Structures are given as structure tokens and as C-alpha cells.
């Protein structure tokens, strides 16, 4: 038997991150690769298995103790993916059972935003906060909730769906089946799509922020609305949960001047004064690795 090592996997819509970590919290190996397009889940798991075996083999004398997978989508408490708009192949897939069958080690499965929230809470910008929210604004809008030092999952595992807060009268259909969802107004993808309509040409998120910095009114219109809608969503969450910290992650969180500063101004409009006064809004510290660190923390607590 070799030294025990945990494998943490972040199964995202665009990329997959795998990190192996030992009991001293030392990262042994890390790999990142593109999510294969529309592949059958069994093939996707096989690919992950090959990578994990490669990472273990590189170090020698390592024994896989457990696997923790976080995944974009609606994941129930039994580790079953109900649906995943960003990884359609995982629709109605028993991810925990299938992974256990493939590796013969204990497996934890978690929603990716919950995992990232827990990673930031244990090892990043949320250290020491009893109650906090982690909000990621990238392709979509995700949210993980920490209440009294624990992930709050709700009754079935579907709590924290801030991206589907109703924040505007808008007709754009969302993957959840509703219209007017925050995700369809404030995510990076929504910003790019709406700007493409305004300009009548294809724009990506970076183009829109660049145009905003040049003072172009079309991009200002799109970004102002995205910021206002996100502020409404966050304010509702602050008014409901009164956390001490809100951590913003995802690509859009890097747009300090164009997005984060105006967001803070808007929060003043919609949040009750005592809740706003005590909350600190800041950027995440772990970047794209928040999810894998969260899965490592959950495995460490469950299996050490
Ligand atoms: Zn929705």
C-alpha cells in the first residue's frame, strides 16, 4: 500500500480540472483539459479515470483514497445529476454510483458552485466567515451558500440557484424553462449575446468591456443592465440571509472598474441598510481551483 491521496475533479461545461492532494494538503499533480463535446458520460468518466491513473503513476507509491467530483448542474443529495444545461450528456446520470463502480473507492459528488463556495470558505477569501455567499459570474451565474460554517443545500440539494432569480421583465428563455432569469441578463454569455444584438454583429464579453471603456453607449446600456440585475439578485439574497461576506468569482469578477465598482453602488439601492453595513464584498482567492479545493476539504472531513 502506498501513501493515500485524494483526487478532486471539477467537471465544468468548458473544462475539466483534476488535482491529486495528499493528507498534508500538498498538491501532488494537477491537470486541466477541455470538456469533450457531447460525449457519453461513461466515456467521459473513462477519460477522467485515465488521467487520474496517469497522475497517480507519475508519483509512484500512491494509493487512491477517494474521489470528489463537483459538476455544473442540478445535483441531488444522492449524487445523481438531475440535469446539466452546460454538460447535456450528464442529464439524469447517477454520477456517484457510476464513479464508485469504476474506481472502487468512496466518492462524493457536489454541485460546482457549492464546492467552490466551500473551497473559498476553507482555504480562500471566506476563511473565518460563518455565513457567506460565493457567486460566480462567468458563462452562467452560480451561487453556493455557507450557513453556520456548512454548505446549505436545501431539502433536495438544489438551494442557491441565484442564476434563476426573477429580476426583470424579459422574454429571453432560460434553460430552466422560465423567462427573466438573472443568468440570462448578467452572465458573461448574456452580456456578449445582448451586445451582439445592440451592435448587430458578433461580440464576445471582452469586446463589450473594451467598448464600454471607450465610452460606447451600446455597451454601456448592456453592462448597466447586467450590473443592475445582478445587484437586485444579490440584494435579495442579502436581505434574506444576512451573510457577513459575499465572494465574487468567475471571469467577470476581474472587471473591477466596469462591473464590480458599479455593482457596489447598485447594491446600496436594493439592500436593507443594516445587512449592507455589515457585509464585505470581495473577490475570490482561489480562482478556477476553488471547486477542487472545496472537494478536497469535503473528502478530508469525510474520509480522514
Ligand atoms: Zn432560469
First and final CA of the chain: distance in angstroms?
Answer: 16
| Residue 147 pLDDT > 70 | yes
How do strand 107-111 and strand 132-137 relate by DSSP bridges? Answer: unpaired
What rounded mean pLDDT belongs to the chain?
Answer: 94
pLDDT in tens, 176-215: 899 999 999 999 999 999 999 999 999 999 999 999 999 9
| C-alpha to C-alpha distances, 221 to 191, 195, 199, 228, nearest whole angstrom | 10, 9, 11, 11
pTM for the full predicted model: 0.94
Q: Round to whole Å and give the CA distance between 41 and 62.
A: 27
Where in the chain are the domains?
3-112+288-303, 125-284
151 CA to middle of ligand 1, Å?
A: 22
Q: Do domains 3-112+288-303 and 125-284 have the same CATH topology?
A: yes
Q: Quote the DSSP letter at residue 215.
A: T
Residue 22: is its pLDDT beyond 90?
yes
Per-residue confidence at 219, pLDDT binned at 50, 70, 90? very high
Q: Residue 5, class by beta-carbon neighbours within 10 Å (0-12 exposed, 13-18 middle, 19+ buried)?
A: buried
What CATH homologous superfamily does 125-284 map to?
Answer: ATPase, nucleotide binding domain (3.30.420.40)
The candidate with the shortest Cα–Cα distance to 284, out of 237, 241, 250, is 250
Q: What is the pLDDT of residues 120-135, one digit of tens each?
A: 999 999 999 999 999 9
- Ligand 1: centre distance to CA 52 (Å): 34
Q: How far apart are CA 161 and CA 149, in angstroms?
A: 19
- The model's pLDDT over 47-79, given as tens digits with 9 standing for 90+, comes to 999 999 999 887 777 899 999 999 999 999 999
What spacing in Å lies between the alpha carbon of 288 and ligand 1's midpoint? 23
Query: Would you identify the CATH topology of the domain 3-112+288-303?
Result: Nucleotidyltransferase; domain 5 (3.30.420)
Ligand 1 centre to CA of 259 (Å) is 22
Amino acid at each position: 500500500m502506498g501513501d493515500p491521496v485524494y483526487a478532486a475533479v471539477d467537471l465544468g461545461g468548458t473544462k475539466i480540472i483534476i488535482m491529486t492532494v495528499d493528507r498534508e494538503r500538498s498538491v501532488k499533480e494537477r491537470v486541466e483539459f477541455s470538456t469533450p463535446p457531447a460525449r457519453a458520460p461513461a466515456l467521459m468518466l473513462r477519460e477522467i479515470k485515465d488521467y487520474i491513473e496517469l497522475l497517480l503513476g507519475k508519483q509512484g507509491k500512491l494509493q487512491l483514497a477517494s474521489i470528489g467530483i463537483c459538476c455544473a448542474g442540478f445535483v441531488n443529495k444522492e449524487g445523481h445529476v438531475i440535469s446539466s444545461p452546460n454538460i447535456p450528456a450528464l442529464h439524469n446520470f447517477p454520477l456517484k454510483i457510476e464513479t464508485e463502480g469504476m474506481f472502487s473507492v468512496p466518492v462524493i459528488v457536489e454541485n460546482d458552485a457549492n464546492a467552490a463556495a466551500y473551497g473559498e470558505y476553507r482555504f480562500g477569501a471566506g476563511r473565518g466567515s460563518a455565513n457567506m455567499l460565493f457567486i460566480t459570474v462567468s458563462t452562467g451565474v452560480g451561487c453556493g451558500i455557507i450557513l453556520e460554517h456548512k454548505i446549505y443545500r436545501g431539502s433536495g440539494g438544489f438551494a442557491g440557484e441565484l442564476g434563476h432569480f426573477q429580476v426583470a421583465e424579459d422574454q429571453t428563455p432560460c434553460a430552466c424553462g422560465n423567462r427573466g432569469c438573472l443568468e440570462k441578463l448578467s452572465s458573461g454569455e448574456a452580456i456578449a449575446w445582448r451586445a451582439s444584438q445592440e451592435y448587430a454583429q458578433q461580440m464576445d464579453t471582452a469586446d463589450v468591456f473594451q467598448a464600454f471603456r471607450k465610452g460606447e453607449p451600446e455597451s454601456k446600456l448592456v453592462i448597466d443592465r447586467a450590473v443592475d440585475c445582478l445587484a437586485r439578485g444579490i440584494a435579495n439574497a442579502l436581505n434574506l440571509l444576512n451573510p457577513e461576506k459575499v465572494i465574487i468569482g468567475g471571469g467577470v469578477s476581474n472587471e473591477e472598474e466596469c462591473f464590480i465598482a458599479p455593482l457596489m453602488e447598485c447594491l446600496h439601492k436594493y439592500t436593507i441598510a443594516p445587512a449592507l453595513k455589515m457585509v464585505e464584498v470581495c473577490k475570490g482567492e482561489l480562482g478556477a481551483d476553488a471547486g477542487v479545493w472545496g472537494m478536497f476539504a469535503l473528502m478530508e472531513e469525510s474520509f480522514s
